[in-house]
Homo-oligomer: A and B are copies of this chain.
Amino acid sequence: MPPIKVKMLDSENGKGAAKAARKPRPRAQTRIQREKQDVILEAALDVFSREGFRGATIDQIAEAAGMSKPNLLYYFPRKEEIYKRLMTSMLDVWLTPLRELDSVGDPVPEIRSYIRRKLEMSRDFPRQSRLFANEMLQGAPRILDVLEGDLKQLVDEKAGVLEGWMQQGKIVRTDPYHLIFSIWATTQHYADFDVQVRAVLGKDRGGEGRFEDAARFLENLFMRGVFPHKD
Contacts and interface: CB of A to CB of B under 8 A. Distances in A.
A74 interface: no
Q: Which of A218, A222, A223 neighbours the largest number of chain B CB atoms within 10 Å of its CB?
A: A218
A215 B213 CA distance: 26
Chain A's interface: helix, strand, loop or mixed, by majority?
helix
B186 A205 contact: no
Nearest to A139: B195
Contact of A137 (B50, B144, B147, B172): B50
Given A133-B192, A175-B217, 8 more contacts: A51-B52, A133-B193, A139-B195, A140-B199, A175-B213, A177-B200, A181-B189, A221-B226
Given A216-B175, A218-B178, A220-B225, A199 B137 contact: no
A53 to B, nearest CB: 7
A54 interface: yes
A173 to B, nearest CB: 9
Interface in A193-231: 193, 195-197, 199-202, 205, 213-214, 216-218, 220-226, 229, 231
Interface string A129-154: 01001101111100010011001100
A83 B113 CA distance: 41
The 3 closest A-B pairs by CB, nearest first: A225-B225, A54-B55, A185-B189
A200 B140 CA distance: 13
A179 interface: yes
A33 interface: no
B178 A213 contact: yes
A128 interface: no
Contacts of A103: none
Contacts of A49: 137
Contacts of A205: 177
Contacts of A133: 133, 137, 192-193
A221 B174 contact: yes
Q: Which of A148, A195, A220 neighbours the largest number of chain B CB atoms within 10 Å of its CB?
A: A195
A80 to B, nearest CB: 14
Contact of A189 (B56, B172, B184, B214): B184
A195 B54 contact: no
A203 B153 CA distance: 14
